[in-house]
């Protein structure tokens, strides 16, 4: 259980603090009900940290994140910091935390909730019942590979360089996370890459295949090119159970999967490190799939569900509070079932509400469910 656990909250920028406020509201409710058993700390990350501390993620914040039992992250970035040098952009805040905490497996569940079947841009029959777990590698690949940079060539023209590098150990450890999840779900994993045109993709396919044959013969493994997967996600999403992909492909495909559920504002995620053999502990960071949404920041209209559902994942994966996690997920679904909608999931005949009203409705639903 969660006694003596520490939760570090890093709201970040844009809509991050707005949606994090709604998690605070839920924690306060939990506290009123039967005193919260975990300790809460708060810190700065992203543009907010650049403004206050000159860096998107200070050494002190990394140390606090390492010491915490779980980190709840909002989102970072925005036009205010677009002119920052590349090495000091807000986005490096989350990349640094993932790297330094060894958070190599980003779990992004794309679940189409019944009340939102008609909110998707796809036909209801195509999305009804979709339940996909995207497992994205999150400390390697092209977001970290060297060399990288913009350089000037002898002819005076510039060229931009990024490098996709994967070792077989990096592929193997995230593949095992995917296989383990598939085993507990519907027993199927689709591994995506571009083995037809990329060397790292060839290695990815080979390593995932070897592990599948040797350790997970009971899991149905399918290999698919990432571009085909994008198309299949739109045409026949129900064929997928677990989708395993690199940092880049997993990032792209999970945003696409979010659209199936109605909105990016609905998708939570957990980014997990390895379990320490002696302590049994693992570092973990929970964050919505969406970014800081500068186009709607400050308007009070952001959908807080992805942040709230990320907190539910935290309760389940890091604090062993399965019952509270499930309760929170039920509360969100019931509120949507009752007809409340933020602008991003608005449908005819439903009641349009802002961030605060949606968060408060989830809290009231929790009250009803536990009365
Ligand atoms: N983990 C992180 O902190 C991430 C940060 N970013 C950063 O966020 C900034 C904006 O990036 P974008 O590409 O615009 O992606 P975004 O995810 O912030 O927004 C994409 C679209 O989805 C909408 N949206 C996102 N979350 C929503 C929510 N909760 N409720 C309602 N609508 C929502 C936005 O209004 C926007 O139209 C950039 O600086 C980017 O680098 C992007 C993705 C992840
Ligand atoms: C570093 C992030 C801005 C990259 C991203 O889009 C994500 O992690 O979802
Ligand atoms: Mg992304």
Q: What is the DSSP annotation of 22-66?
A: HHHHHHHHHHHHH---SEEEE---THHHHHHHSSSS-HHHHHHHH
- Per-residue model confidence (pLDDT) at position 2: 73
Cβ atoms < 10 Å from Cβ of 232: 16
User: 50 with 121, same domain?
Assistant: no
User: 234 with 282, same domain?
Assistant: no
Is the predicted pLDDT of residue 43 greater than 80, yes or no?
yes
Q: Indicate if ligand 2 lies below 6 Å from the C-beta of 95.
A: yes
Q: Token pair of 189, please?
A: 């994993």
Is the predicted pLDDT of residue 35 greater than 70, yes or no?
no
- Per-residue model confidence (pLDDT) at position 357: 98
User: 126 with 172, same domain?
Assistant: yes
CA distances (Å), origin 50, targets 64, 84, 287:
17, 9, 20
Is the predicted pLDDT of residue 28 greater than 80, yes or no?
yes
The average confidence (pLDDT) of the chain is 96
- In this prediction, residues 170-183 reach a mean pLDDT of 98
| Residues of the chain above pLDDT 70, percent | 99
What residue's CA is closest to ligand 2, atom 6? Answer: 251
Task: Give this complex's ipTM.
Answer: 0.98
- Per-residue model confidence (pLDDT) at position 253: 98
User: 100 with 116, same domain?
Assistant: no
Q: Beta 70-75 vs 39-42: how paired, if at all?
A: unpaired
Is the predicted pLDDT of residue 127 greater than 80, yes or no?
yes
136 assigned to a ligand binding site: yes
In a domain, 225, yes or no: yes
269 assigned to a ligand binding site: no
- Per-residue model confidence (pLDDT) at position 190: 99
Residue 67, burial from CB neighbour count under 10 angstroms (0-12, 13-18, 19+): exposed
What residue's CA is closest to ligand 2, atom 3? Answer: 91
- In this prediction, residues 343-357 reach a mean pLDDT of 97
131 assigned to a ligand binding site: no
- Terminus-to-terminus CA distance in the chain, angstroms? 22
User: 153 with 15, same domain?
Assistant: no
* Domain's final residue, options 244, 263, 282: 263
- In this prediction, residues 143-156 reach a mean pLDDT of 97
Residue 288 CA to ligand 3 center (angstroms) comes to 9
| Confidence tier at 215 by pLDDT (50, 70, 90) | very high
Place of tokens 């990350």: 45
- Per-residue model confidence (pLDDT) at position 248: 98
Residue 151 CA to ligand 3 center (angstroms) comes to 26
pTM of this structure: 0.96
- In this prediction, residues 74-81 reach a mean pLDDT of 98
Q: Indicate if ligand 1 lies below 6 Å from the C-beta of 293.
A: yes
Phi (first) and psi of residue 8, to 5 degrees:
-100, 120
In a domain, 268, yes or no: no
User: 144 with 19, same domain?
Assistant: no
- In this prediction, residues 275-300 reach a mean pLDDT of 96
Instruction: Please answer whether residues 133 and 109 qualify as being in contact, where contact means their C-beta atoms are separated by less than 8 angstroms.
Output: yes
Strand partners of residue 10: 73
User: 48 with 191, same domain?
Assistant: no
Rounded to whole angstroms, the Cα distance separating 73 from 314 reads 11
Q: Indicate if ligand 2 lies below 6 Å from the C-beta of 94.
A: yes
Instruction: Please answer whether residues 89 and 77 qualify as being in contact, where contact means their C-beta atoms are separated by less than 8 angstroms.
Output: yes
Q: Indicate if ligand 1 lies below 6 Å from the C-beta of 94.
A: yes
89 assigned to a ligand binding site: yes
User: 125 with 83, same domain?
Assistant: no
User: 165 with 279, same domain?
Assistant: no
254 Cα nearest atom in ligand 2: 9
- Per-residue model confidence (pLDDT) at position 31: 87
Q: Token pair of 266, please?
A: 């609905």
Is the predicted pLDDT of residue 24 greater than 80, yes or no?
yes
* Domain's final residue, options 229, 263, 297: 263
* Domain's final residue, options 243, 263, 283: 263
- In this prediction, residues 324-337 reach a mean pLDDT of 97
| Confidence tier at 34 by pLDDT (50, 70, 90) | confident
- In this prediction, residues 6-27 reach a mean pLDDT of 97
Buried b (16+ CB within 10 A) or exposed e, 149-180: eeeeeeeeeeeeeeebebeeebbebbbebbbb
- In this prediction, residues 204-221 reach a mean pLDDT of 98
User: 118 with 245, same domain?
Assistant: yes
Residue 205 CA to ligand 1 center (angstroms) comes to 31
> Which-ligand-closest: CA of 358?
1
Is the predicted pLDDT of residue 87 greater than 80, yes or no?
yes
User: 62 with 176, same domain?
Assistant: no
Q: Indicate if ligand 1 lies below 6 Å from the C-beta of 301.
A: no
| Confidence tier at 102 by pLDDT (50, 70, 90) | very high
Is the predicted pLDDT of residue 4 greater than 90, yes or no?
no
- Per-residue model confidence (pLDDT) at position 135: 98
Q: Indicate if ligand 2 lies below 6 Å from the C-beta of 252.
A: no
Is the predicted pLDDT of residue 262 greater than 90, yes or no?
yes
Q: Residue 125's domain spans which residues?
A: 112-263
CA distances (Å), origin 118, targets 28, 127, 238, 339, 344:
33, 9, 16, 12, 13
Residue 230 CA to ligand 3 center (angstroms) comes to 15
| Confidence tier at 259 by pLDDT (50, 70, 90) | very high
**Count of domains observed in the chain:** 2
Q: What is the CATH number of the domain that holds 33?
A: 3.40.718.10
For a pocket test of ligand 2, which of 84, 90, 91, 135 has the largest count of ligand atoms closer than 8 A to its C-beta?
Answer: 91
Residue 356 CA to ligand 3 center (angstroms) comes to 25
Is the predicted pLDDT of residue 282 greater than 90, yes or no?
yes
Buried b (16+ CB within 10 A) or exposed e, 80-101: ebeebeeeebbbbbbbbbbbbb
- Per-residue model confidence (pLDDT) at position 205: 98
- In this prediction, residues 21-40 reach a mean pLDDT of 88
Q: Which residues are catalytic?
A: 143, 194, 227, 251, 255
In a domain, 233, yes or no: yes
In a domain, 170, yes or no: yes
User: 25 with 128, same domain?
Assistant: no
Strand partners of residue 165: none
- Per-residue model confidence (pLDDT) at position 1: 60
339 contact partners, CB below 8 Å, separation of at least 6:
349, 350, 351
Instruction: Please answer whether residues 119 and 38 qualify as being in contact, where contact means their C-beta atoms are separated by less than 8 angstroms.
Output: no
Q: Indicate if ligand 2 lies below 6 Å from the C-beta of 251.
A: yes
Residue 129 CA to ligand 3 center (angstroms) comes to 24
Q: Indicate if ligand 1 lies below 6 Å from the C-beta of 77.
A: yes
19 Cα nearest atom in ligand 1: 29
Rounded to whole angstroms, the Cα distance separating 27 from 11 reads 15
In a domain, 152, yes or no: yes
337 assigned to a ligand binding site: no
DSSP state of 264: G
């Amino acid at each position: 259980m969660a006694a003596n656990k520490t939760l570090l909250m890093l709201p970040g920028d844009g809509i991050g603090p707005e949606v994090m406020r709604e998690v605070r509201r839920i924690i306060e409710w939990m506290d009123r009900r039967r005193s919260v058993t975990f300790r809460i700390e708060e810190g700065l990350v992203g543009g907010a940290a650049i403004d206050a501390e000159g860096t998107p993620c200070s050494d002190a914040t990394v140390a606090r994140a390492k010491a915490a039992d779980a980190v709840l992250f909002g989102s970072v970035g925005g036009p205010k910091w677009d002119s920052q040098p590349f090495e000091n952009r807000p986005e490096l805040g989350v990349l640094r935390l993932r790297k330094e905490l060894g958070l190599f497996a980003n779990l992004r569940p794309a679940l189409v909730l019944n009340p939102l079947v008609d909110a998707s841009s796809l036909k209801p029959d195509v999305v009804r019942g979709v339940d996909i777990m995207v497992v994205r590698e999150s400390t390697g690949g092209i977001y970290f590979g060297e060399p990288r940079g913009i350089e000037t060539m002898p002819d005076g023209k510039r060229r931009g360089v990024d490098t996709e590098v994967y070792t077989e150990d990096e592929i193997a450890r995230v593949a095992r996370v995917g296989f383990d999840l598939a085993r507990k779900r519907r027993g199927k994993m689709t591994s995506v890459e571009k083995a037809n045109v990329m060397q790292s993709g060839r290695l990815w396919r080979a390593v995932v295949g070897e592990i599948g044959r040797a350790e997970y013969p009971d899991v149905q493994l399918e290999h698919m090119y990432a571009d085909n997967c994008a198309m299949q996600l739109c045409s026949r999403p129900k064929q997928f159970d677990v989708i395993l992909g690199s940092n880049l492909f997993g990032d792209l495909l999970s945003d696409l999967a979010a659209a199936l559920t109605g909105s990016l504002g609905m998708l939570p995620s957990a980014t997990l490190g390895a379990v320490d053999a002696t302590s049994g502990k693992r570092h973990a960071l929970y964050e919505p799939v969406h970014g800081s949404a500068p186009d709607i920041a400050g308007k009070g209209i952001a959908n807080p569900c992805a942040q709230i559902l990320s907190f539910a994942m935290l309760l389940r994966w890091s604090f062993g509070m399965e019952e509270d996690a499930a309760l929170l997920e039920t509360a969100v679904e019931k509120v949507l079932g009752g007809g409340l909608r933020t602008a991003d999931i608005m449908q005819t005949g439903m009641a349009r509400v802002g961030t605060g009203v949606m968060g408060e409705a989830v809290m009231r639903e929790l009250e009803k469910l536990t009365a």
